[in-house]
Structure formats: C-alpha cells, structure tokens
A and B are shown apart, each in its own frame.
Chain A
Amino acid sequence: MERTVYPLAAVVGQEQLQQGLLLAAINPAVGGILLRGEKGTAKSTMVRALAALLPEILVVRGCANACSPEPDEDRCPECRRRFPDLETDSRRARLVELPLNATEDRVAGGIDFPRSLRTGQVVFAPGLLAAAHRGLLYVDEVNLLDDHIVDLILDAAASGENRIEREGISYRHPARCILVGTMNPEEGELRPQLLDRFGLCLEIAGSSDPEERVTLMERREAFDRDPAAFLAGYQEESDRLAHRLAQARAFLPRVHVAAHLRGFIGELCRESNVAGHRADLVMEQAARALAAFEGRAEVSVDHIRIVAPMVLLHRRRDAQPPPPPPPPPPDEQPPDEQSDDTPPEENREQQSGQQPEEPAPQEAGNQPPPAAEPPETGDRQEPEGRQDEEENGQQPAPAGREDEFFEIGATFKVKPLSAVKDRVVRRGSGRRSRSRIAQKKGRYVKSALRPSDDLALDATLRAAAPFQRQRAGSADGLAVHLREQDLRTKIREKRIGNLLLFVVDASGSMGARGRMAASKGAVMSLLLDAYQKRDRVAMITFRRQEATVNLPPTTSVDLAGRLLAEMPVGGRTPLSAGLVRTHEQVRNYLIKNPTAQPIVIFITDGKCNVALGEGKPVEESLRLAGALAQDRRIRTIVVDTEEAGLVTFGLARRLAGAMTAQYFKIDDLKAQALVDIVRGQHP
C-alpha cells in the first residue's frame, strides 16, 4: 500500500535530526541512527520522509531480498544459484517498517508454511531483514520491542548478513540496511550494548519558538487538506535534496581522512571515556558522509566537530563521578517541586554516578542539618527513648509522639531483579522475569504436543514425515499429508511483569537521620523500575501496633507513588504483624493467580519491638519469616535501611537469612554499584 508522506523539506526546524538522517543514509557504514525524544516531535514523519529521498538502486528482478546484480556483491542463495544469469530492475531503495507485533519468523524469515505443504519441500519465506536489504529498516519504539527481536536486528545490522539456523532451516542472506530506531526514554531504556550498536544518536525535543510552532501547524494543516498539492509545492526542493543525497553517495568513496584528523577523533573519544572502538570508527565514517554531502573530498576538523555529538551522546561515560549536588536547604523546597523540574532519567543518571553517602533531603527540625560526612559514631543524637525502644522491645513506647512525614529521597536506576525461571506457562505482558508464555508472543524455544493454535511447522512436518508413504493416497492435493495427531505447537518464552509487594517499615526508628527519605527514594526507584517493566505493585506498611494494606495489587504504579509520598512515619515496629499481613496478601494473590511469582520487598531495619504473641518480637518475626519463605513461588528481598556505624544490630540481615531472601543495603540496589566496585571507585 502506498501512502503519501510528508516531505522532508517541509519539516520545520529539527535541522540536526535532518542532518543525522542524511548522514546515515549517505554512508551505511555509519551504522544507523537512534532518535531519542519526547512524543510528537516528528520522529516518524522524518524517517518516512527520508525514505522518499533514497536513490534508485539496481536489483535482481523478483528477488525478495533486493540482491544487487553487481558481480562482487553478496547475494541470497537463490540469486547465487542463478548468477550471472540475472534480470535486473531499477527501483527506489525501500523503507521497511518493523511493527511492534512482528514475530521472530517474520523478522528473520522462516518456513513458508502453505507452500511447504503443497510442494513437499522446505520453502523459505524471507523476512523483513531481507526486504530491508540495501534499504532502510525503521524500528519505531525500539525500546518496547521484545529483547530477542532487537538482538536479532542489531546482530544482522552489525554483521551485514542474516543467518537463520532454526526450525529446520539453514539459510544465509545479506542484510545490509540502514537502521533507524526511535524511542521515548521515559518508557524504558535500551541496554547499553544495544545502544552502542546504533552508530549515531540524537536527542530530540519540540521547538519552543512560537513562530516555528505556528509555521509547523500551518504546514501540517495544508498537508492534511490537500496532500498532493502540498507535495507538489515541495517537489523541487525534495528533488534537489534527493539528488544531493545520490551525489553524496556516489562521491563518498573518494572522501579522504587525513592521518592527523584520525588522531583528533581518537582524542575526542578518549576524552569522553567511551567503551570500545566503535565510536572512533563511526565518527570517521560520519565525518566522511558529511564531507561527501558538502561535496568536499577532504574531511575537515569542522566536519568532525559537527558529527561528534551524535556519535558520543549515547556512548559517553563520565570518567569521574560528578560531585554530588549540595543538599537542598531544608524546608525551602516543596515536595513535588524537585521532581517537576528534572526529567526522570536525568535525575537517575546523576544519582547513579554518585557516592553512596549522599544525604537525602529531609524535613527541618527533625535533627541537626543533613550529615554530609558518613556517620562514624554510634552516638546518635536522637530523641530520648528511641534507643531504648530499639534495644528493648518490651518497653512501652513514649506516648503521644507526633507522626512525621518525609520527602522522597533521591531516586536511582535499580539493578535488575527478577523471579526464578521455571517451567510454568503464564500469560501476561511486561518485561521483568523470563517465563514460558501462553500467548503467540516471545521466542520459540521448543515444540510440544499440546493443544494451541500456535503451530510449530517444523516439528509438525517432522512428526508427519514417517507416515507420508502410508498416507500417499489421500486426495487433498497436497504434497505433505497432515493429520490431527501430527500437530505440534510452539512453546515460547518471554519476559513478563511480576507482582512487587512492598512491605515498608514506617516505624519511628526509620525516621532517624533521614533514613526514611533514603528508603522512600529506594522504594520510588523500585516503583519507577516497576513502571518500565510493567509490573503490578502492592504496598503494606507497618508501624505502631499494626500493619495495613495501603494498596492491594494493582497496575497503577502512580497510585503507589502517591501513597508513598503521603506515608506517615512514627511509632513502634510491629514487624511480625507486617509479616502476617504480607503472608495473607501473597496467599490471596496466589490463589487468584496460581502461576504468579510475586516478589516481596521488605524495606526495614529489622529492629522489631512489637510481638503478636507472648514471645520475643525478634524471634517471633524470624519464625514468621521462615514460614513465609515456605512457598517456593515467592521470592523475597530485604532492603536493609540500617545505617553503617559502630553499633549495628544486623537484624535485617538475620531476617533475610530466615527467609533465604536476597539482602541489599540501599546502595547495593543501585545499578551502578557493581560497576563502581569493579572500577574500584566504591569504598
């Protein structure tokens, strides 16, 4: 189906984006381009517009792979066989769009099912990678695509060929395409190694100039009213751009890079502390493309300067962690002010590079100003009675102590946490834990004899093979005769979301020294992570004498965030009650969803001092914790909020031990922590 696309020449603003796209189109060796940006910034429009400018190419007639007839080019098996007897066609290079619903067999290619049945031979049906050969492959929302599909695409794009070794097919064809991806970082990031595979990367934002916005609206309206007339109006300019692009492509092989400029490139990359050497190579190729576009045979320093930001944006790593920002003066910042002004990833990135002692903002009047130095003494300046309370659970808590409210501390990027993989088949979406899946999604891992409409053709054919002679007489006119009992279906695997049950200790002991703010920050970080992984969340808090379910299991991470912000803190620590409530919630959830794998996250210092029964609170809680861990479907995580100091009780660690839970300090949760430890930057 043809559709009219908005012309590139008519896009308002976005010069850098236009330039980046042209560079990627001129020189495929640049390795594609990734466009990151907010919604509604003409990302898709521009990519489609670019396709209309791609030059004509010579292809083998009828070849689904768009093989080149030139003698020394790689070709698909069919064209290899027929070479040199090839008829040719000339047509514009194609834009192939990869829709979000694409399955692996359509991306890489698979068996042509009906034809295989008719002919009795395995017929290969080329996929989108074949169609995109020598053209443009456009992946919208690349960060929302299933991981295994992204891997497949990037692998093919990097190696220039697509190899299929599965479902009884062994097939190889060239797949050199210009890869263009778009993503909205709010919805989750790409893994760094995938990011690196994109040659260039651009950050796109809408225009803030009213004049430009008005022009944009006017053009859009004119286009919508009469696309043909609008296109005609820009025809000349479009033709000129297309011509320039074709010329630049032809001129590219003659563009030369002086040796001293290679040194300059290396220097730039080293300064940005990039990993590996891809940045250097890409920068050189991008600079050559730019020079070719300008009709220069020699790359200049300016060319390099222009392309450098696009090359380094997604590869830059800070050599030194930036100094932590000064803690905000207490009481001057309303709670939501801070989060209003900084976009989430910026916030997170800042945090991830920081030293762990970063004091979280807290309310005034609670205690002395935020301690910037790590707490080195056990001598805490706390309100009277608290120390007693922590050590001796049987003493009554001082009555009438006011509830306190704490801001949400700094958030950070969380380390990947997931449930244990098993063999249970589930339904669902999301991106946390790998699981067998009952939908027609995800990666085909093996086949089975079980009813479903997700047919595994290779296995079905194998199952039918021994009976072919016996069934030869049947009159269905097909070369392969299938019966009901031959049918095999696919077992697929993909990531899905989990239930994250947060059990938050809101007792008075958590309020000390801004620990609550830091804890809230940790919970918030986990919530943001849950949002991106599409988990369900639930929250239980315990304080004073009881535990309350603040939020039953829901997909509304927003709600959890709001509750967290409003959570009061104060009173004693009924950990046992919290454990019992948790057990109830999880049990109910598991009755409703027997195959679920809830992850229970305790945020506590473990200093419990209220028991349910007669026994000692600590012992009772450990016993209950042990009971909770009985169900193998439940995974537990303990986030210890106790400060490092001379006097530590290590009760949270004991709690974790009783549940065989994973144990983290807040700082260990940070995704960056591991890297820091390896680099020796972590104390």
Chain B
Amino acid sequence: MAIGQSVKRKEDARFLTGRGVYTDDINRPGQLHAVIVRSPLPHARIAGIDAGETLAAEGVVAVFTGADMAADGVGSLPCGWLIHNKDGSEMVEPPHPPLVAERVRHVGDQVAVVIAETRAQAKRAAQLLDVDYEDLDAVVSCADATEDGAPLVWDEAPGNTCYDWELGDREATDAAFERAAQVVELDLVNNRLVPNAMEPRAAIGEYDPAGGNYTLTTTSQAPHVVRLLMGAFVLNLPEHKLRVVAPDVGGGFGSKIFHYAEEAIVTWAAGKLARPVKWTAERSESFVSDAHGRDHVSHAELAVDEQGQFLGLRVRTVANMGAYLSTFATSIPTYLYATLLAGCYRTPAIYCEVRSVFTNTVPVDAYRGAGRPEAAYLLERLVDKAARQLGIDRIELRRRNFIPKDAFPYATPVALEYDTGDYEATLDLALSQADWDGFESRREEAAARGKLRGIGASTYVEACGIAPSAVAGALGARAGLYESAVVRVHPTGSVSVLTGSHSHGQGHETTFAQIVADRLGVDIDAVEVVHGDTEIIPFGMGTYGSRSLAVGGSALFKALDKVVAKGKKIAAHMLEAAADDIEFADGQFKVAGTESSVALDEVAFAAYVPHDYPIEELEPGLEETAFYDPANFTFPAGCHICEVEIDPETGAVELVGVTVADDVGRVINPMIVEGQIHGGLAQGIGQALLENCVYDENGQLLTSSFMNYAMPRAADLPSFDVGHHVTPCTHNPLGVKGVGEVGSIGVPPAVINAVLDALAPLGVGDIEMPATPERVWRAIRDARAAG
C-alpha cells in the first residue's frame, strides 16, 4: 500500500544535486534580455518618454513603451472574478495594460521595456531612459482611499471603490444583535505581506516564424491559466499557437498563480524581434511587482447570549486591491473570506460587508490562505475577546459554540455547506499535546525568570478546492475550477501521469505516483508524473487554494478508474471470461473465484500489440483522460496552540511552543503533509510576529528588500509539534481535503492570542500584527501608564 506511507520524494534527486531546471536556468540561442523600466513614483502622468540615449546605448536592440503595445492591439491583463455590488451593478474594472502609456499608478508600475544583447547592457540602458513624469497625489492605505476627497486612482472609480459587496442576512443579523445579552467588538488590521517565494519570477518568450508558434517559459503555478488569459485577452493568440511551460518553480504561495505583465511583454517582444527574450526579476523588483497579500481593515461585532452562545456576527471590511485588479484579486476578500466567517461555530446569523478599494500600491491578490487567514484571524481574535469579556474560559466558549460532529453536513449562513468535521477531536488532541492544563505552572516558572508567558489557541476551518464550477460561475468566476489528468500505461506497464496541477514544492511527483502505485499495483519508480507544459497536458487550472490533491488527485483517481475498467475488458478477453467477473487488485486482473489472472503489464502489452484483442469493441492502447469537477469545497479544520514568552523589558516575543492538530482529510504521504504544515506555520508566524509591508504616506515602499522586510529565519522559529485527526472528505474519491494553507490560516490568531494572554495581567487588551518588540513594549508601557 503506497498510500499512507512517507515515501521519500522522487523530485529530490534533481533538487539535491543542483539539477533542477528553473526558468532562469534556461537560455535559448540568440536570446535577448529584457529589463523593465518601472515607475519610481506612486502616481504620475507620463508626459513623454525620450528613448534616444537608451536606443544609442551599447547592445540595445529595442525599446518598447505602452504606446507601442497599444498600437499593436495588445489588450489588458484580465481579472478572473466579477463581483457584483450590493445593488446588483458590476464592480469597477479598470484596464491593466502590460505597459502603461498614460498614467503610472504605483511604484514599480511598468513603463517600458529595454531589450539588449546582455542583461547588463539592458540594465545600463534602462537607466538612461528619460521619462517625463507629472506627479499626481497618491492614496496608499485603506483609510486614505476611503476618505472624502481622496485623490482618485481611477477616474471611473468614485471614492476609489472597486466594489461594495455584501454576504449574509442583514436583517436576521441585526435582529440577533437586538436580543444579545452582550456585544463584543473588535477593530483589526490584517497586515499587508509580500509573498517572497525564494525564486524570483522570470519569463522567456520565444517565437518561431516558420510555424507562427509562440512559447512562454515562466515561473507559474498555473501555465494553462496563463495561456488562456494571455492568449485570449492580452495578445490575441489562439491556444494552438501558444505553448506555456512552467518548469521547476521555486515556490509560489499564490504569487505565481497570476498572469503578469512581464509574461505578455516578453512573448509579444519575442514576436516583434523574432528572437527569444528573457526577463528575470531582481528581488528588489519582486517587492514592487509581485502581487502582495492580505491588507484588510475590519470592524467586527459578535452578539452573544448569557450562556455565551453566539447569536450573530456583523463584519465590515475594507480591502486594499492595490492599483490594478490582479487575476483573482476580487475573489479573495469576498468568496474566500466572508464565506468563512462562520468558522467552526453555529452562529445562526452572519452579515458581512466588504468594500474593496483602489490605492497607489502594488496589486494585492492571493497569498497562502487568501482570504481564509483574514477570516480566521478576525473570528479567533473575536472569540478570545468574547471569552474575556464574558468571563468564560476561552476553550469552553469554543466548545459551547462548535458545530457538533453529528451535525454534518452543515449549512452555514454564509453560503457554504461543510461536509464533515470533528472540531472537538482536533481541539482535544491539540490541548493534550500542548499540555494546556499544565500551563499555569509554566507561567509561574517563567515569571520567576522575569518572563511573561502566555498560551493561545485558535480553532479554524478553511475551504479548499474552490468548487463546483457551476456554483463559482454563478458567483462571478470567469473560469472553471476542475482539474484534468491523463494516465498513460505504456506497453510494458510503466505509467506516465499528465496532470494539470503544477508542483512547485508540494511533491506532486511523489504523492500522485503513490496514488498510481496504490491503484495499479505498480512500483512507484515505474510512475512518472509530468506537469507544467500546455503542449503535453490536456488542460489544467493550476495549483492554488490547496486544491491539487482534492481536485487534481481526484481527476487522477477517475482516470485510473477508467484505466482499470478498460483493463478489465482486455483481461476478460485474454482470460476468456466476462468483464463483470474480472477483479483487479495488486496489479493483477483476476477472474473472480478462480486462480486465473493476467498482470497489468500483460494487459498493457496486449492493448498496444493487439494481435489477439477485442478490436471490434475496444480501441487499442491503454490511456485514459479524466476531468474532475468537485461537488463541493473541502473543509480542513483544526486547532493551533502557541506558547510565547515575552521579555517585558524589550517587548521581544519568543515563540516557545507550537502545537497543532489538523484534520486535512485522508493523508497520502504523512511526511509531505507535515512538511506542508510546517511551511504554512512559518509563514503564519511570520505574519504574526515579523512580516509587514509598509508604504510611507506618499506611496513609496519602505520595506523594499530583505534588509527591512523581516522574513522568518531558522532562529526565529521553534520546532513544531504536528498531529492529525482524520475525518475523510465525503465527496471526493480519495477522502482528502487539502493541507497547503492550514498553517498560515490557523496559526496567526493563536500567536496573537498567546501574546495577549501573556500581557493580559498587565491590562493589555489588543495588539496588531506583527507583534514586534516595539509594539509589545509600547502596549506594556501604555497599559502601565493607564494603571
């Protein structure tokens, strides 16, 4: 049984020996190098561009501007999700040209591309480009953008509003507040983050004039999506003339889902120049051109009765979209956020309003968790505050409001139907693993050392594998949300899997091979998982939202079913039995109740060498394709517990314990699953304690490099204690839910709840993420001053 085993990863062989091939590792004959000239200003009109000196510089082949692309009919980078306002009207959807011609709208906005024989030449020449900017006033924060009389990022978006959207029953929620014994209120900021996958983005465009074919090699999590968007909306290239390849990709975390301007620029320029054109971001460029994450400002209110039962939840959120609508930007603070506001709780009435605003900042889009961390953070902070306000133990308060395990399927008041879960189980597991009950003695021991020790928990639920397509479509999604898989059994019995689900660290090449090995009874080394090339893979919606296994794995499972079904027919012929009498297990087709059997490789051979074959009824070959469109989201859930020690003198927070118990559904490879949880935890802890993307009031990005954007390092983190409790997903064939994002969703509120627990004796009631030493120190000082 390959499923459930910690099989060592197949992909490691190349990564450990330096033989991974990332986009920047690829060079094409005759290749040119592109450098993007970016706006140094947050908001300005382009009065003119003088490329004279640039064109004269050594090695320069071409300079293209927005006007050149527009003149060539290049379109706008599309947004993939249409949101409707409360009144039913459509959101404001401004144009997003790959190179802007008239007005720059954030520091880093693309103004021109300089293409030269070498990268150094292009870089030098780019510095010579003379762009005449007329400065305009900028807006930066959610608060700025919504102020009366604020400068407008887009003239067509009054009040800088992209949309003003709502979810839930307002009247029922208001009524719940009217009969509440108490109302708990909380204002919070979900801090803006920079995803910072370790591999900077890169792209190579190629054009073959002989056949009129274009190839884009790019750092993408979703090459088919890029082909669809770039081909159909931006460059007007039909799919059969456009190949998109995503080779090894060095992490994405959401930031590499989107179709970016540079992909269109190098592809288009390659066509213009009939030479390959390569662009690789420098890290400082990544900071101002990769989509950022989070950036919400919210006000939340919870209505409770005397026993602590949640009666209603009312939330008002302003979400920062940045200057343009990135590919999935609009869906994040709506369908991936407000729909999760029920959390693990039976809150009967929920109403959420979200106003998304344009600002003169880098576009904001999905980053690990994408909407769900914002929901979990809001809810789990609010529950802890409610517990303090009501004088009820915070764990007990959660238990009182949990959706009980016998209540599934459970329809929330915010549009989701949870299929399964057992929130008490993961809570109990985490509490016992973390020795929650023994905490007070640890607090005392720390106090003896002059440290403030605190413990905090969060019980979260999330939604993965956005689905089904029909429902998403009705809610404004402009794409399907299925996944494809091909299982190709070769004549001698080895297997190739073609999956639309790209792997960039998640280990698909191993996990998917385990599914094949388990189902077909072949050795895992006889399975090759191929991904990332639109020329080879039928179709794919890509890797995001922890969907790969639940959706892509299910597509694979379906294709395997088809292979087995066909194999049974072939075996029936070979064994002179009825197909219905054939059983398949451990790689053997067997006539039920007999010893008569034939192996998979023999069946495959017969399928490809059909000398003795039911050719009238069955085509030769043993290859099947499946598309899987899920019936529902999956709903991983769990409990995360953090323990911190604070040095009251400096405010420094040391994370001394992280214990999690997650229900991610059935586990195929525990080693990989735990690795995914670890990584998500690190990013969630980063958000809670270290990372913060800061613009100054004029729109300049202050945290513009690793010198001042604090990435979590090894010494910033403890080891993690990871546990599982499984309730299998009820609607996909593998019973899997998804694991990529649970860490970044569950842990930020657990960290902050622990920090506030440590500070509670001093009278501190609130702190913002990241809880930096200075913020903690100030909170302590202010609380002491307040007495």
Same complex for A and B? Answer no
Residues of B within 8 A of A (CB): none
